[in-house]
Structure 1
Amino acid sequence: MTIQISRLTRRTVLRGLGVSLALPFLESIMPRSVAASAVTVPRRMAFLFVPNGVHLPDWTPKRLGYGYDLPHILSPLSRLRDDVTVLSGLTHDKGRSNGDGPGDHARSASVFLTGAQPRKTDGSDIRSGVSVDQVAAQATRGATRFASLELGCEPGRGAGGCDSGYSCAYSSNVSWSAESTPVGKETNPKFVFQRLFGDGTPLDQDKDALRRHALKKSVLDFVADDAKRLQNQLGRNDQQKLDEFLNGVREVERRIERTDDEPKVSVDFDYPIPRGTPNDYAEHIRLLCDMIVLAFQTDRTRISTFMLANAGSNRSYRHIDVPEGHHNLSHHGGDAAKHAKIREINRFHVNQFAYLIEKLKSIPEADGNLLDHSMICYGSAISDGNRHNNENLPVLLAGGGGGTIDAGRHVQVAPETPMCNLFMAMLDRFGTPVDFFGDSTGALSGLQI
């Protein structure tokens, strides 16, 4: 296939045997009469869920507005403070029992992006609500190859009880396409990579991946001719951008390949770690963050969710000298030693969030960067793991939302302000406004001055 510059669009792909590699944003794609500042760039949304709440005294900045202080947990954001808004005071009322008794962890995951009270059942008659990511995905279906991308580090179960009479489907999912339909997440970076850059059916992609592995070939080897022809048609800046993009794809591919050769061990879970999944938890998170970045950069999707762990996860954190289980520690009972360990777990998670934000910010796009045109929401639907309370939730919002968010502030909202008000505001900025969402009382104001 010969690529001609006059036919380049955001949907142009480099193709080879079993490979479909979409292009990042390139100025050469735009008509010469259009300035970079006038280019319409798509907006993206991602939602990152962490379980078991946080240690709020080491999370909440003391100062409001710009130049807010960074407590210990938020210290990894020191280079990104101007890109991150800390939101204090948001509440998920439907995460409370409201007469349903225990099961706070399962409710926290199911309510996180839906704002809906889940039906208490450990049978097949599950019911929650359509999640904010899927509201946007359904409204923009067809605009990208994938309507949305659902990721996680721990596999889910669709049946059986996981938390005080609640189905495991609630604990394992934050994305819901219908009231009774959770959207399953992919935990294996290797399979996500194949999905983003493979061609044909999932079975075809598996076969092609095995063939590339046997031949010791990269996906880039199969699009090399197209890439070379394209480079010859681009301006100097775009040549550099394309080269950096291809090098980035190859580096991610190499890291995935290295995980294939690792002896698979699992000291914390009773399931085997599949090939393509790192033993190292931080590397697992970061590879999946890289998948989000590549998907946004190539416009394969504009919407993603990522569960860093399932609700109520009791994963240990030996790599940061916290061998105890997270869930067990979250029931700290006011113990100072447990507080210290919880805050290190919380800080570790924020550090991974910072990795994602830095990667998005490092990628130029139009007159800004990928983060400028994104909204990345990070948080939990439980505030303190010991109290299991659902008010004053720990929430971060990174990115500029295409110039619609005045980032870099600590914003305190009124007590009991629904988290769903934030989601309404994000849907407005994404271009998919709704009259209401979950238990919202109106779109959250104050994101832009």
Structure 2
Amino acid sequence: PEIGGDHFRSSAVYLTQSHPKQTRGSDLYAGTSFDQLCAQRFGQETSIPSMQLCIEPVDQSGGCAYGYACAYTDSISWASPSEPLPMIRDPRVAFEMLFGAGGTSEERAARRKTNKSILDWITEEIAFLRKDLGPTDHARLDRYLDNVRELERRIQAIEAGNMNGESRELPEAPAGVPDSFEEHVKLMFDLQALAFASDVTRVFSFKTGRDASGRVYPESGTDRPFHGASHHGGREEAILEFFKINKYHTSLLPYLLDNLASIEEADGNLLDKTMIIYGSPMADGNLHNHRRCPLVVLGGAGGYNPGNLHLKAPDGTPMANVMLSLLHDLGLDDVESFGDSSGEFSLSMSAPMSSSG
């Protein structure tokens, strides 16, 4: 066991379910991640095959502790076993990539200096599109454009506030990054929902915190830093403090779910067609234990996710088994194994189950 080393490899493990090579050099090796297998299969039909988002800075270089390169902890998405993908922290950057008018970064920068909305640059295209739409689709297009504009306004307001000369809680962060964790997460959720609605991309990964993060979340009801709180020593009072942080983090998920559910599709809503995997590669941060890591699967996934189940796997079941089953549910039947999988673990009533609390 490498006490402490878990923090510097666990991000690379989460969506690859691999055993990363211990190296501080450039000879990285983990596995192709779940999201990138989906991007290879479904992302070729969209303008952006996948997008990787994050909340905290992920720009360390060189070697981190316990013999692991920092690249292992900077990304959860791997295009191949040797290629971790960069993650985008700045909502402005993500917004411009997804919706920005102008083919080059220089053109987009020039547009921003005019203080015009991106929608002002495509008025002719919008008018042409509206001509062939019926009343229902016309209303859907208007709602979508209103949502894009509102998101753009929010980002502009954040940038203006962060550039007014006053001190920031996150002085090193780009101007488009809110100091508020909750505001930042919700912006990223809104970007994902709008991108799915317009089919700009069909695959996102989202890293909401750094391994061993020292961030404090005042809204959670505790002033303990995340990593320090995870090492609770088994003390009941300290465990409850850590619970507050985790409860706060998960309390933000309904914002995304409600957003997706509000977007109507021809045969349902966007949540019905979406698969969301939420979890952690660390089960017990106090002991650096990886047994029974939590994993939640949300969204209808096109009818493959029954929902309302709390499943308990037999001891020793790799999380990779669940991910392999999910890949098969999504139509990737030719994927015979994933990470260190030993078989499948179906998310259905026939699977070993415990009652939900």
Whether these two folds match at TM > 0.5 is yes
Q: 1:309 to 1:446 in 2, by over 3 A?
A: closer
Aligned to 1:390: 290
Tell me, yes or no, if structure 1 residue 221 matches structure 2 residue 123. no
Give, in angstroms, the shift of residue 436 of structure 1: 0.7
Asked whether the 8 Å contact 2:29–2:81 carries over to 1, the reply is yes
Among 181, 187, 193, the alignment partner of 1:293 is: 193
Instruction: Decide whether the 8 Å contact of 2:5 with 2:68 is kept in 1.
Output: yes
How far residue 322 of structure 1 moved from its aligned partner, in angstroms, is 2.6
State the match for 2:81 in structure 1: 179
Which one has the bigger helix percentage? 2
Would the aligned equivalents of 2:196 and 2:202 in 1 still touch at CA under 8 Å? yes
Query: How many Å apart are 1:259 and its aligned residue?
Result: 0.9
Q: CA deviation at 1:443?
A: 2.6
Letter in 2 for 1:358: D
1:234 matched to 2:133: yes
Partner SS state of residue 303, structure 2:
coil
Paired residue for 1:251, among 127, 147, 150? 150
SS in 2 for 1:262: helix
Q: How many aligned positions are there?
A: 346
Aligned with 2:138: secondary structure? Answer: helix
Instruction: Name the structure 2 match of 1:439.
Output: 340
Question: Structure 1 residues 319, 161: closer, same or farther in 2, change over 3 A?
Answer: farther
One-letter amino acid of the counterpart of residue 317, structure 1: Y
**What's the offset of the Cα at 1:448?**
6.6
Q: Structure 1 pair 248/448, CA: closer, same or farther in 2 (3 Å)?
A: farther
State the alpha-carbon separation in 2 of the partners of residues 221 and 418 from structure 1.
51
Give the CA deviation at 1:199.
4.8
Distance 2:24 2:168 in 1: 27
**1:160 shift after superposition:** 2.5
- 1:411 equivalent to 2:272? Answer no
Q: 8 Å contact 2:4–2:288 — kept in the other structure?
A: no
Unaligned runs of 5+ in 2: 351-357
What secondary structure, in the 3-state scheme, does the structure 1 residue paired with 2:45 have? coil
Give the one of 214, 220, 237 matched to 1:337. 237
Q: What residue identity is the alignment partner of 2:154?
A: R
**One-letter code of the match for 1:175?**
S
Equivalent residue number for residue 116 of structure 1 = 18
**Does residue 152 of structure 1 match 2:54?**
yes
Does the aligned pair in 2 maintain the 1:124–1:159 contact within 8 Å? Answer: no
Q: Answer 1 or 2: higher relative contact order, Cα 8 Å, separation at least 6.
A: 1
2:355: which partner in 1? none
Q: Give, in angstroms, the shift of residue 383 of structure 1.
A: 0.9
The 5 Å alignment of 1:37-436 reads: 97=1, 100=2, 102-157=4-59, 159-199=61-101, 201=103, 204-205=104-105, 207-263=106-162, 265=167, 267=169, 272-433=172-333, 434-436=335-337
Q: SS of the counterpart of 2:53?
A: strand
Please give the secondary structure, in 2, of the residue aligned with 1:397: strand
Summarize the Cα distance change of 1:365–1:448 in structure 2 as closer, same or farther, 3 Å threshold. farther
The one-character-per-residue Cα deviations of 1:153-185 (angstroms, maximum 9, x if unpaired) are: 112135233333222111111111122211110
Contact 1:114 1:132 in 2 (8 A): yes
Structure 1 unmatched runs, 5+: 1-96
Deviation per CA, 1:280-339: give whole Å up to 9, x if none.
111111111111111211111111100001222111113434322100111011233322
Secondary structure, counterpart of 2:244 in structure 1 = helix
Check conservation: 1:122, 1:167, Cα contact below 8 A: yes
Instruction: Classify the secondary structure of the residue corresponding to 1:151.
Output: strand
Q: Which amino acid aligns with 2:40?
A: Q
Pair 1:208–1:239, CA change in 2 (3 A): same
- Report the Cα distance in structure 2 between the residues aligned to 1:173 and 1:295, rounded to whole angstroms: 21
Aligned-residue offset at 1:275:
1.5
Note if contact 1:150-1:186 (Cα within 8 Å) is conserved in structure 2: yes
Distance change >3 Å, CA 318–CA 391, structure 1 → 2 = same
Contact kept? 1:218, 1:250, Cα under 8 Å: yes
Secondary structure, counterpart of 2:224 in structure 1 = strand
- What is the rounded CA distance, in whole Å, between the counterparts of 2:329 and 2:349 in structure 1? 11
Aligned-pair CA distance for 1:214: 2.7
2:354 alignment partner in structure 1: none
Shift in CA distance, 266/119, structure 1 to aligned 2, threshold 3 Å: farther
The whole-number CA distance in structure 1 between the counterparts of 2:266 and 2:51 is 24
Deviates more, 1:174-183 or 1:412-421: 412-421
Decide whether the 8 Å contact of 2:182 with 2:252 is kept in 1: yes
TM-score (normalizing by structure 2): 0.91
